[in-house]
Chains A and B, each alone.
Chain A
Amino acid sequence: MDQSTSYKFSFFALIILLILTFFFNISLGSVSIPLKEIFASIFGNTSNNETWEYIIIDFRIPKSITAILAGSGLSISGLLMQTLFRNPLAGPFVLGISSGASLGVAILILGASILGGGFILLGHNQIAIAIAASLGSFLVLTFVMLLAKRVKNTMAILIIGLMFGSFTAAIISVLAYFSSAENLQQYLFWSFGSLGNLSWNEILIFFIIYLIGIILVIPNIKSLNSLLLGENYAKSLGMNLQKSRNSILLTTSILTGVITAFSGPIAFIGLAVPHITKLVFNTSNHKILIPAVAIFGAIIMLISDTIAQLPNSEFVLPINAITSLFGAPVVIWLLMRKQKLS
Chain B
Amino acid sequence: MNKILIPFFVFFLIFSCKNDKNNEVIISENNNSNSSIKYAKGFDIEYFKNYTKLIIKTPYPDADIEYEYFLIHHGIEIPKALKNKTIIRTPVKKIVATSTTHIPMIELLNEENTLIGFPQTQYISSKKTVALIKKDKVKELGNVQDINTEILLYLKPELVIGFSLTKGSKMFKNIENTGISVIFNGDWLEETPLGRAEWIKFFGALYDKKEQADSIFSNIDIKYNEAKKIALLAKEKPTILSGVLYKDKWNLPAGDSFTATLFNDANTKYLWNKTQGKGSLILSFESVFDQAKDADFWIGSGIYTTLEDMQNSNPHYTEFKAFKNKNIFTFSKKRGPNGGVVYFELAPVQPHIVLQDLVKATHPELLPDYNPFFLEKLN
User: Which residues on A are within 8 Å of B, measured CB to CB?
Assistant: 29-31, 51-52, 54-55, 58-60, 116, 120-121, 124-127, 177, 182, 185-186, 189-190, 192, 194-197, 199, 264, 308-309, 314-316, 318-319
What's the Cα separation between A318 and B287 when bound, in Å?
A: 16
> Does residue B80 face the partner (Cβ distance < 8 Å to A)?
no
Closest CB in chain A relative to B251 CB, distance in Å: 10
What's the Cα separation between A120 and B313 when bound, in Å?
A: 12
Contact sample, A vs B, 14 pairs, CB 8 Å cutoff: A30-B283, A30-B286, A51-B290, A59-B289, A121-B305, A124-B312, A126-B313, A177-B143, A189-B246, A194-B247, A194-B248, A316-B284, A318-B248, A319-B248
Other-chain contact of A315, B246, B283, B289, B319 (Cβ < 8 Å):
B283
Total number of A-B contacts with CB less than 8 angstroms?
Answer: 84
| Residues in B neighbouring A197, C-beta threshold 8 A | 245, 247-248, 285, 314-316
What's the Cα separation between A166 and B293 when bound, in Å?
A: 45
* A316, B248: Cβ atoms closer than 8 Å: yes
Please give me the 4 A-B residue pairs with the lowest Cβ-Cβ distance, nearest first.
A30-B287, A30-B284, A194-B247, A30-B286
Known contacts A51-B293, A316-B282, then 7 further A-B pairs from the complex at CB < 8 Å, ordered by chain A residue: A30-B284, A127-B312, A194-B247, A197-B248, A314-B281, A315-B284, A316-B248
A128: nearest residue on chain B (CB-CB)?
B312
**CB-CB contacts of B287-326 with A at 8 A, as 1s and 0s?**
1011001000000000111000100111110010000000
Given A31-B287, A31-B290, also A182-B303 (CB < 8 A)? yes
The number of residues on chain B lying at the interface, defined by a beta carbon within 8 Å of a beta carbon of chain A, is 27
What's the Cα separation between A95 and B57 when bound, in Å?
A: 53
* A55, B290: Cβ atoms closer than 8 Å: yes
* A315, B285: Cβ atoms closer than 8 Å: no
* B314, A59: Cβ atoms closer than 8 Å: no
Interface of chain B: mostly helix, strand, loop or mixed? mixed
| Residues in A neighbouring B319, C-beta threshold 8 A | 54, 58
> Does residue B61 face the partner (Cβ distance < 8 Å to A)?
no
| Residues in B neighbouring A318, C-beta threshold 8 A | 248
> Does residue B339 face the partner (Cβ distance < 8 Å to A)?
yes
* A124, B304: Cβ atoms closer than 8 Å: yes
Closest CB in chain B relative to A225 CB, distance in Å: 40
What's the Cα separation between A316 and B248 when bound, in Å?
A: 7
* A192, B286: Cβ atoms closer than 8 Å: no
* B247, A126: Cβ atoms closer than 8 Å: no
| Residues in B neighbouring A125, C-beta threshold 8 A | 309, 312-313
What's the Cα separation between A116 and B336 when bound, in Å?
A: 13
Closest CB in chain B relative to A66 CB, distance in Å: 12
Closest CB in chain B relative to A128 CB, distance in Å: 8
A56: nearest residue on chain B (CB-CB)?
B286
| Residues in A neighbouring B229, C-beta threshold 8 A | none
* B283, A314: Cβ atoms closer than 8 Å: yes
Given A120-B303, A125-B309, A192-B247, also A59-B143 (CB < 8 A)? no
Other-chain contact of A58, B143, B245, B309, B316 (Cβ < 8 Å):
B316
A316: nearest residue on chain B (CB-CB)?
B284
> Does residue B38 face the partner (Cβ distance < 8 Å to A)?
no
Taking CB atoms and an 8 Å cut-off, the chain B residues in 304-361 that contact chain A are 304-305, 309, 312-316, 319, 339
* A186, B246: Cβ atoms closer than 8 Å: yes
| Residues in A neighbouring B305, C-beta threshold 8 A | 121
| Residues in A neighbouring B287, C-beta threshold 8 A | 30-31, 314
Closest CB in chain A relative to B202 CB, distance in Å: 24
| Residues in B neighbouring A316, C-beta threshold 8 A | 248-249, 282-284
Given A121-B309, A189-B249, A194-B247, also A54-B284 (CB < 8 A)? no
What's the Cα separation between A316 and B285 when bound, in Å?
A: 9
| Residues in B neighbouring A60, C-beta threshold 8 A | 286
What's the Cα separation between A194 and B285 when bound, in Å?
A: 12
